[in-house]
Amino acid sequence: MSGVKSINRIKCIGLVPLLVLLCGCNASEEPGFPYDANTGKSAFRFEFNDMNNTAPSFAASLCIPDGDSPSDNEIEAGPESYGSAAFFDLKNKKTVYSRNAYTAFYPASLTKIMTALVAMENCDMDKILTADSSCVMTDNDVQKISLKEGDTMTLDQALHILLIYSANDVANLIAVNVGGSVEGFTTLMNAEAERLGATNTHFINPHGLHDENHVTTAYDMYLIFNEAIKYGKFIEIIGQAEYSTVYKSALGEPVEFSCKSTDRYLNGRVSAPTQVNVIGGKTGTTQAAGANLVLLTKDSSGNPYISIVMRAKNAEVLYQKMNSMLDLTG
């Protein structure tokens, strides 16, 4: 692979004199806008002289937030009760609501959306996954199914448990079998984030357990989730209220597992506005990250929307804020 890059680099270098002659470029001329590696904006959004211009070749099919929305849609708990929120109309490529969409927060188990995406891109659903020592988690406060070394299941089973039950040991199971190791899989995750333009995202692990360098933004989560829903299997899984399966132990014995969705819309604990049809989503909660949710919905006409709330103080605030945005569908 490095050889290909070297050849391409040589070709590019060889083109430079020709381009200079043809274009009359001054090699010492400064670019028309400054580059800032620490910018808070997505790679899809640039500003020139206070005018917003979107690069159509990259973002023609995407929603682009342009600052925060007016505060007249704020919930009773107040804007200090959550970190960021965004609501995107996929049909009309429109940002319906946005607050702190480019601000980085801890994603917790929203991370598993990217884990599922990378797995779906690289493996068949019937691939057999085998647990190694990195899949064994013993902490009592970690969401897990208590995998043991040698346990096996298909990728299809693993994705269901990952997205519906949010099992952290299953996230590692997927990582080591798809990426060769947790670290190798994380490299694939970050490469995919870069490809999608999620430039304010950095993953350290495939599950989202806390690390201060493991961050993303509401807008980047939109980009990642928007890519994941291109897979029918992903939409099918995130819409399931419960799941039951049987996987195998290292001795080949059957291990039964059943779970219910962590999404309160799906498990019946919260109701969406009457004009909204909840398709499914992914939750994420840790003490450091707060309560988080990415949701796919449709309005009464069948038009799709993606909504995100990050770092809510608790689940009540999370779903109150989510419903306040869903109400904007009219």
Tell me the backbone φ, ψ of residue 281, rounded to 5 degrees: -170, -165
Residues 66-102 as b/e (b if ≥16 CB within 10 A, e otherwise) read eeebeeebebeeeeebbbbbbbbbbeeeebbbbbbbb
Catalytic residue among 69, 81, 84, 166: 166
Half-sphere exposure in the Cβ direction for 242 (13 Å, CA) = 7
Q: What are the C-alpha distances in Å from 224 to residues 115, 116, 127, 142, 200?
A: 10, 10, 23, 24, 12
H/E segment holding residue 223: helix 218-228
Catalytic residue among 81, 84, 98, 112: 112
| Dist. CA 32–CA 9, nearest whole Å | 24
Q: Give the DSSP letter of residue 125.
A: T
166 catalytic? Reply is yes
Q: What are the C-alpha distances in Å from 40 to residues 46, 66, 67, 102, 182?
A: 11, 13, 12, 6, 28
Catalytic residue among 42, 69, 109, 307: 109
300 catalytic? Reply is no
181 catalytic? Reply is no
Please name every residue paired with 94 in a beta bridge, in sequence order, or none if there are none: 89
- In the numeric block, which tokens belong to residue 251? 């001795």
Listed residue (31, 164, 94) closest to 307, CA to CA: 94
Residues forming the active site: 109, 112, 166
